[in-house]
Every structure is written in C-alpha cells, then in structure tokens.
C-alpha cells in the first residue's frame, strides 16, 4: 500500500472512531451540550420512575435502559416522559424510585435525568 492510501485509511478510521464516541455520548445520556443547556435553561423537578425497560445494550458492563417517567413540576400538570440512558449495573433504577430531572418547558421531550 502506498503512503497516500495509508494516510487516507488512517483518516477514515479516525473519523469513524470520533463519530462513534460522539454517538455513544448521545446514546448514554452524556451529551454535554444538552446537559449544560438544560441545567442552565431548563426546569428542575422530581420525576417518579413508572417503568424501566432494558435495551439489551451494555457499555463497560453497564446496561442501557429506557426510563418511563411521571414528571411532577411544582405548580404545573404532571406529564409523562421517556429517557434512554446508561446506568450503573449495581444501581439500576426501579419502578417507584424518584429522580431529579431537567426539562425544556417549550419541548417536554427535551429532558435529562440528573
């Protein structure tokens, strides 16, 4: 293989590595921009976990789950939301647990679990 092909192949591999890391951050709930934005501009409140669904994906032995939430903002109607996130395998959330969430009041699907 000549030098140009090796260089191009290296760039392609690097591109896929960076892209996959970015996707993993978004899939695991570690989208730093979203977290910072919602913690700054969003509304903080409690939410009750109404269901937990295993997504059959693990990263470093920690499971990805889909949490179904009953979000309970003070002075506003309760609403339902879903969040997909990576959780610790020793602290998997359970139905009935309460978590702190931040959500965008203009788009209640734009939500994170603290």
Residue 1: per-residue pLDDT: 55
For residue 100, count other CB atoms closer than 10 A to its CB. 11
Bridge-partner residues for 13, per DSSP?
A: none
Residues of the chain falling short of pLDDT 70:
1-3, 7, 10-12, 14-30
Residue 34: per-residue pLDDT: 86
Residue 102: per-residue pLDDT: 95
Chain position carrying tokens 């700054």: 40
Residue 82: per-residue pLDDT: 95
Q: What is the pTM of this model?
A: 0.71
For residue 23, count other CB atoms closer than 10 A to its CB. 10
Instruction: Note the Cα 63 to chain centre separation in Å.
Output: 12
Strand locations in the chain (E): 43-59, 62-72, 79-86, 98-104, 107-113
């Amino acid at each position: 293989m000549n030098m140009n092909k090796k260089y191009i192949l290296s760039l392609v591999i690097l591109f896929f590595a960076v892209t996959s890391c970015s996707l993993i951050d978004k899939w695991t709930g570690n989208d730093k921009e979203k977290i910072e934005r919602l913690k700054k501009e969003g509304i903080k409140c409690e939410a009750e976990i109404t269901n937990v669904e295993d997504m059959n994906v693990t990263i470093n032995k920690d499971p990805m789950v889909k949490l179904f939430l009953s979000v309970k903002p003070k002075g506003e109607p309760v609403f339902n939301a879903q969040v997909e996130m990576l959780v610790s395998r020793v602290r998997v959330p359970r139905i009935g647990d309460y978590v702190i969430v931040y959500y965008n009041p203009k788009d209640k699907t734009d939500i994170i679990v603290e």
